[in-house]
Structure 1
Amino acid sequence: MVRWPDNPPVEIERTLDMERGDVANVSRLSFGSHTGTHMDAPLHFVRGGDGLDLMPLDATVGTARVIGIEDPVSVKREEIEPHGIGRGERVLFRTRNSARRWWTEDFMEDFVYVSEGAALYLAEREVRTVGVDYLSVGGFHEDGVETHEALLGAGIWVIEGLELSGVEPGGYELVCLPLKVANGDGAPARAILRKLEET
């Protein structure tokens, strides 16, 4: 499974095995807290910030908007301003990352990320949640720390590693539930989108 270069690898070990005479199968899972589809808590980049165990469920359960991004480098303020993003919104950005089916490939350094300027704009707009279709909201070569600090410092909950290849821009019902890890800086999550009916 693709992972951020300095994060722990994914390891799955069968510790009890019925084929070896055990009464049940039990496995040990080992991986970093920011592996695959996962969430970032403010604590990830904010000293003394909230952990995932303090995340209110309405941060990731409710209506969400998927916004298509054309810029091949980053999500920029100029591209998202016309969408009229409002206070309390949950916004998910679908970029060229999704077309690359990145989860089956080696780590790519040139993924589309949220620029610091766009992150500051989203913080100004007081959005509730931001989701992206790669392993980080911030870039690998630039705006990595700055984007995380802008979003998480504003109390915005972040979903990373979304698989949006078959998702069109528009309104959806979002259910994204991370593992409730005490004082967790991040944790794996299962994210589900259901298209809202046109009215």
Structure 2
Amino acid sequence: MYQLLSYPIKQKQPAWPGNPTFSLEPYNSISSGDIANTCTIHLFNHYGTHLDGPMHFYDKGVSLDKLPMERFFYHNPLLIDIPKKPGEKIIPEDIIPYERELKKADLLLIRTGFWKYRLDQPETYEQNGPAISSSTARYFQDNHLHLKAVALDFISLASYSDTLDGDLAHQIMLGMYHDNFICIIEDVNMKGLPSGFMKKTAAVPLIIEGIDSSPITMWAEY
């Protein structure tokens, strides 16, 4: 069975506070007498379900379009459930119990249950989400270099309630202090997915020259 993990891109969805979002501007319209329907898309590259590449928090990091395509396809995706409340951080002790399974994974999906706030309490989803602590980012870098990416069911690796530690966590994950980088997939819809290993997953970005990160189409087979 296949399941779409990307939220549809549309107006008035939760976003990191202060960032631009999305709008769709008609250009040609059949109803207005044109031969075809076309439009202009105004889309911030960190809106909706998106993948953070190495250049996002590290100016010497490679741009997303230069990553090999295999970075976006995962053959051993592992989903684990780590319930978290607003503002709570995922710490290494939350991850260590899954150490054996994680050694086999090329993508880690972390489901906190916070996706429920996206619809019911969007301001909380934006402003006080869970986060990956900087110590957990170091844990991934020190112990799981085989991971291509970590995916999250909340708006950002960082919480708006603690941007200082969140910035550091991004820098560590994306390779500022290491030779390796682990991509970050944020705002992922994991509702209804089974926990454990899935058959395969993909997170395919827009291929735009020189871009740090991009919205993605993400799906899973299980």
* TM-score normalised by length of structure 2: 0.82
Distance 1:141 1:87 in 2: 33
Q: Which residue of 1 aligns with 2:166?
A: 144
Q: Where has structure 1 moved over 4 Å in runs of 4 or more?
A: none
What CA deviation, in whole Å up to 9, does each residue of 1:124-177 have, x standing for no partner?
Answer: 121221111122112212222011011001411111110012123211211110
Contact 2:17 2:126 in 1 (8 A): no
Distance 2:121 2:43 in 1: 17
SS in 2 for 1:39: strand
Aligned residues: 195
Q: Which residue of 1 aligns with 2:116?
A: 99
Q: What one-letter code is carried by the residue in structure 1 that aligns with 2:122?
A: E
Pair 1:163 & 2:189 matched: yes
Q: What one-letter code is carried by the residue in structure 2 that aligns with 1:34?
A: H
Q: What one-letter code is carried by the residue in structure 2 that aligns with 1:115?
A: S
Return 29-38 or 130-139, whichever deviates more. 130-139
Q: Which residue of 2 aligns with 1:182?
A: 209
How far the C-alpha of 1:68 sits from its partner, in A, is 0.7
Name structure 2 gaps, 5 residues minimum.
1-12
Aligned-pair identity (%): 26
Contact 2:77 2:105 in 1 (8 A): no
Distance 1:79 1:9 in 2: 32
Distance 1:92 1:103 in 2: 22
Name structure 1 gaps, 5 residues minimum.
none
Pair 1:65 & 2:78 matched: yes
How far the C-alpha of 1:13 sits from its partner, in A, is 0.8
